[in-house]
Structure 1
Amino acid sequence: MTDISNDILVHTDSGVMTITLNRLARKNSITAAMYDLLADALDSANHDVAVRAVVIQGHETIFSAGNDIGDFLNKPPATPDAPVFRFLRGLSSFPKPIIASVCGPAVGIGTTMLLHCDLVYAGDNAAFSMPFVNLGLCPEAASSFLAAQLMGYPRAAEALLLGEPFMAETALDMGLINRIVPPAEANALAQRQALKLAAKPITSLMETKRLMKKGNAGMVAERMAEEGASFGRMLQEPAAREAFTAFMEKRKPDFSAL
């Protein structure tokens, strides 16, 4: 059995829980077991009165390459209780402030998870992408709803239909992130902002966040469930099989007959 205890690091200090993606050898790609750890950390933070804010961060060179493809193919998210969906539900409904620090590539869920964070700070080397269509799949994390709402339909369509990377300046213009800093400063900035939040009354923070998100909460949950069902079905279809086979064989996929 592979020991993943160091792939997700969780540390709490001064009212801030910091969750670090720490699988640098695999570009912080996320396995099902890691999603379980992420979901468990958020659940713990939710119920721990000493935790007043959460920071999710990676390394200054990489946030996350998205799903670990090998693990993903061996353990596809086949049910609503799959670890990735449990993590996404916990993230989308988390009642306390969440800050993300993003440097380097943020692929797939590495970008869509940011739609559920309250503050996002990025290094000037950040590159965001949502290449679901390129894998024969559909969006997840309610990104088919939230991306259009945040970016406007034309820019969301470009990001989701073409699946091409966009850089930090574009993400700032879209409203996906709050500020751009040098990569070596991003995690420290997220910590400073989290400490500011932790010093404020938690009841006020939570009620303000609840009120801001109230109008979207039902739609987010509904869209996330619909996306999850479509995602699971499309995983079994020819386009996804061709995309993942091509990825494993290190060739360009051929969708001409699909």
Structure 2
Amino acid sequence: MSYPIPKLNGFSASFKNGVAILAYNRPESGNSLHPTVLKSYLDSMKWAVANPEVKVIVQTGIGKFFTTGRDMGGDGGEFDPQEVLNNFKELNEILITCPKVLIAAVNGPAAGYGTTSLALYDLVYAVQDAYFFTPFSKWALCPEGCSSRMSATELWTAGLVTKIIPAHSNAAFMGQVLEVAERIATYPPIALAASKKLMEGNRQAELLAANERECECLVERIAHSECSEALLGFAEEQKQKKSKKSRRGPSRI
């Protein structure tokens, strides 16, 4: 049975040596999570989990950013908010229950979901200058980080980042991450899955319950007027920043 890579939008997937490499691929927007990107992430995870040749899944970003989280600016497209939330909830469920080794390769700044999702991975590698922040309260969404900003070193100290990898380029960084991923992919898969299950303990059930509560809260927050007002304000703020930048013209070296 063949397992073709699904058609993806703003997202990419590849496979080599037992490792599936999934990547946010919308660098012009800082790899923001547009609804189509979120759906592509979900589809690629389903593909990677179902494909028996995939032993390890690596998630990274193309360009300077890992991901800037939810696309707060919008692009005029029409999307069913409930469908987007359903995709988001299902994606989290797949990450939580994934029987394969999950590795996050944080190649740059990570905002919102780019930070909060890291706890769902088995291993997290980050470049030295990566930073992390969760401005949900600012946008009148569920308060998680209260706009806090943390460095890779702080998250390594807290145990959320497995290792900080100094590298002069994304290619060098990914080379080191894939060296680990490909080595893990050679281990006996049944024993590897059993070891992962033992290490998780009761964590899976707790995370699934937390995901359920958070998604219920998101439904309430998104429906509230203060959320839409905050998001409109953010979109206007971003529009003004882009306008000022275009008036200044290109920078001179």
- Whether these two folds match at TM > 0.5 is yes
Deviation at 1:109, TM superposition (A): 0.6
The structure-2 alpha-carbon separation of the partners of 1:235 and 1:10, relative to structure 1 and needing over 3 Å to count, comes to same
Alignment-mate amino acid for residue 137 of structure 2: V
Deviation at 1:112, TM superposition (A): 1.3
The structure-2 alpha-carbon separation of the partners of 1:102 and 1:72, relative to structure 1 and needing over 3 Å to count, comes to farther
Name stretches of at least 5 consecutive residues in structure 1 with no aligned partner. 140-159, 252-258
Deviation at 1:192, TM superposition (A): 0.8
User: Greater Rg, structure 1 or structure 2?
Assistant: 2
Coordinate RMSD, CA, aligned = 2.1
Deviation at 1:37, TM superposition (A): 1.5
- SS of 1:137's equivalent? coil
- 8 Å contact kept, 1:36–1:83: yes
Equivalent residue in structure 1 for 2:211, among 224, 231, 237: 224
Structure 2 counterpart of 1:125? 129
State how far apart, in whole Å, the 1-side matches of 2:112 and 2:213 are.
18
Deviation beyond 6 Å, 4+ runs, structure 1: none
Structure 2 counterpart of 1:194? 181
Name stretches of at least 5 consecutive residues in structure 2 with no aligned partner. 1-6, 239-253
- 8 Å contact kept, 1:60–1:123: no
- 8 Å contact kept, 1:17–1:51: yes
**1:55-74 maps to which residues of 2 (within 5 A)?**
55-59=58-62, 61-69=64-72, 70=74, 74=78
Count of paired positions = 228
Structure 2 counterpart of 1:255? none
Moved more, 128-137 or 65-74: 65-74
Structure 1 counterpart of 2:24? 21
Alignment-mate amino acid for residue 134 of structure 1: K
Alignment-mate amino acid for residue 110 of structure 1: G
- Quick check: 1:244 aligned with 2:231? yes
State how far apart, in whole Å, the 1-side matches of 2:84 and 2:228 are.
21
- 8 Å contact kept, 1:17–1:53: yes
**TM-score under structure 2 normalisation?**
0.83
Equivalent residue in structure 2 for 1:7, among 10, 14, 34: 10
**TM-score under structure 1 normalisation?**
0.82
State how far apart, in whole Å, the 1-side matches of 2:76 and 2:215 are.
14
Structure 1 counterpart of 2:250? none
State how far apart, in whole Å, the 2-side matches of 1:239 and 1:173 are.
36
Moved more, 236-245 or 8-17: 236-245
Alignment-mate amino acid for residue 218 of structure 2: F
The structure-2 alpha-carbon separation of the partners of 1:232 and 1:6, relative to structure 1 and needing over 3 Å to count, comes to closer
Deviation at 1:35, TM superposition (A): 1.6
The structure-2 alpha-carbon separation of the partners of 1:170 and 1:48, relative to structure 1 and needing over 3 Å to count, comes to same
Deviation at 1:114, TM superposition (A): 0.9
